[in-house]
């Protein structure tokens, strides 16, 4: 559930494929100053525009990328510590068990790029074992957490060039380039965040990653698997209410940053599994008729009307392989935990011999 999950419009890529290809040559041009962060994060105008666009739709929605202000990032760390939220423990089990095979496939002297890095807990498993990585580019939309994590990594790995980028990673921008030469670019995309996209935008996003990696690159990705809906219900409706607080925080953030007047006690967290779409949906439901004012615009909510904030698609192994087959990648290895609840998959570019 690293960042919100599901909307093509929310997580649609912002440029055409032709425009993306034209940006490939500029990747070499940016060298950050030591200790500097490349900042490509959305500004308040982007935030307001996205919020008003989402709330004007027949099914109101908010882009889940806006969950991650500093408070939201910390709440997500709390979610990852919950017994009900199985993904972190299942993914860590896979990483610990198969780490030698993974780093063998990734190879030496790679430039490691992580989308939605969060606290980089699992990334350290890779960095501890990767043979002489040329550099690490952590990308996250939460600037406060990113600065903390980058500083910690620089202290823990003094020989590693860490080049943080604060950005919405679904957009296209110039990536920093390390001082050292590298063998190839490898993207790490842990958690269940690929489930954040509807299937067609998911394919587009995988092609976006493939463009970043180039013809000899690779992707190590976490993919959540289909399972008992009761397990999913507990994971997204924890008894301590941490997920509910995380969900409601997006309204609090809109209040804080856009001077809106959402009454958080007027909305309730609601999450359920939609079997026909094979996804968990997360909503905020209005508990009464109410008006909210944002940027000079009045938005009305009827009692029972919801804001769709997140979806998390759950795949079969074959289903995800079919999705990948329509992109520039191919699935080379799949590892699962003992219960087959989660998978980590190694994808290589089709241009990679």
Domain residue ranges of the chain, discontinuous segments joined by +: 19-50+88-227+316-349
CA distance 14 to 306: 26
Residue 11 pLDDT: 42
Average of per-residue pLDDT values in the chain: 87
- State pLDDT tens for residues 259-268: 999 999 999 9
Q: Which spans in the chain are helix H? A: 17-23, 44-55, 70-80, 87-106, 123-129, 143-156, 199-213, 229-236, 242-258, 317-325
Residue 91 pLDDT: 96
CA distance 190 to 343: 10
Residue 121 pLDDT: 81
258 close to 51: Cβ distance less than 8 angstroms: yes
Residues with Cβ < 8 Å from 18, sequence gap 6 or more?
Answer: none
Mean pLDDT of 3-25: 36
Q: Give 42-46 contacts, CB < 8 A, sequence gap 24+.
A: 42/141, 42/168, 44/257, 44/258
Mean pLDDT of 234-239: 98
CA distance 207 to 327: 6
Please give the residue that has the higher pLDDT: either 309 or 177.
309
CA distance 353 to 325: 16
pTM value?
A: 0.86
* Residue 14 confidence (pLDDT) above 60: no
Q: Does domain 19-50+88-227+316-349 have CATH number 1.10.240.10?
A: no
- Dihedral in degrees, nearest 10, Cα atoms 266, 271, 272, 277: 110
- State pLDDT tens for residues 98-112: 999 999 999 999 999
Question: Of 37-41, 282-286, 324-328, which range is least confident?
Answer: 37-41
Residues with Cβ < 8 Å from 112, sequence gap 6 or more?
Answer: 106, 123, 126, 127, 130, 133, 135, 136, 137, 186, 188
Residue 162 pLDDT: 93
């Amino acid at each position: 559930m690293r960042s919100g999950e599901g909307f093509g419009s929310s997580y649609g890529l912002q440029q055409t494929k032709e425009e993306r290809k034209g940006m490939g040559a500029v990747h070499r041009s940016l060298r950050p100053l030591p200790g500097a962060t490349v900042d490509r994060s959305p500004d308040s105008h982007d935030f307001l525009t996205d919020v008003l666009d989402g709330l004007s739709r027949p099914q109101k929605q908010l882009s889940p990328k806006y969950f991650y202000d500093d408070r939201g990032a910390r709440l997500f760390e709390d979610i990852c510590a919950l017994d009900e939220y199985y993904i972190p423990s299942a993914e860590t089990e896979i990483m610990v068990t198969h780490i030698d095979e993974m780093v063998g496939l990734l190879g030496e002297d790679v430039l490691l790029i992580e989308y939605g890095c969060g606290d980089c807990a699992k990334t350290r498993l890779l960095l501890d074992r990767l043979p002489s990585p040329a550099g690490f580019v952590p990308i996250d939309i939460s600037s406060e957490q990113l600065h903390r994590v980058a500083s910690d990594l620089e202290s823990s790995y003094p020989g590693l060039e860490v080049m943080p980028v604060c950005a919405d990673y679904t957009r296209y921008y110039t990536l920093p380039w390390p001082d050292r030469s590298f063998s190839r670019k490898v993207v790490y995309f842990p958690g269940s965040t690929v489930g954040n996209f509807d299937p067609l935008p998911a394919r587009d996003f995988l092609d976006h990653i493939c463009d970043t990696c180039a013809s000899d690159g690779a992707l190590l990705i976490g993919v959540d698997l289909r399972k008992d809906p009761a397990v999913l219900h507990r994971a997204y409706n924890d008894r301590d209410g941490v997920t509910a607080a995380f969900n409601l925080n997006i309204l609090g953030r809109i209040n804080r940053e856009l001077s809106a007047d959402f009454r958080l006690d007027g909305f309730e967290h609601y999450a359920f599994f939609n079997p026909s779409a094979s996804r968990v949906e997360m909503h905020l439901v209005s508990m009464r008729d109410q008006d909210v004012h944002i940027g000079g615009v009045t938005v009305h909510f009827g009692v029972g009307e919801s804001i769709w904030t997140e979806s998390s698609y759950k795949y079969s192994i074959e289903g995800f392989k079919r999705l990948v087959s329509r992109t520039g990648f191919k699935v080379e290895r799949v590892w699962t935990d003992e219960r087959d609840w989660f998978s980590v998959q190694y994808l290589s570019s089709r241009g990679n011999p």
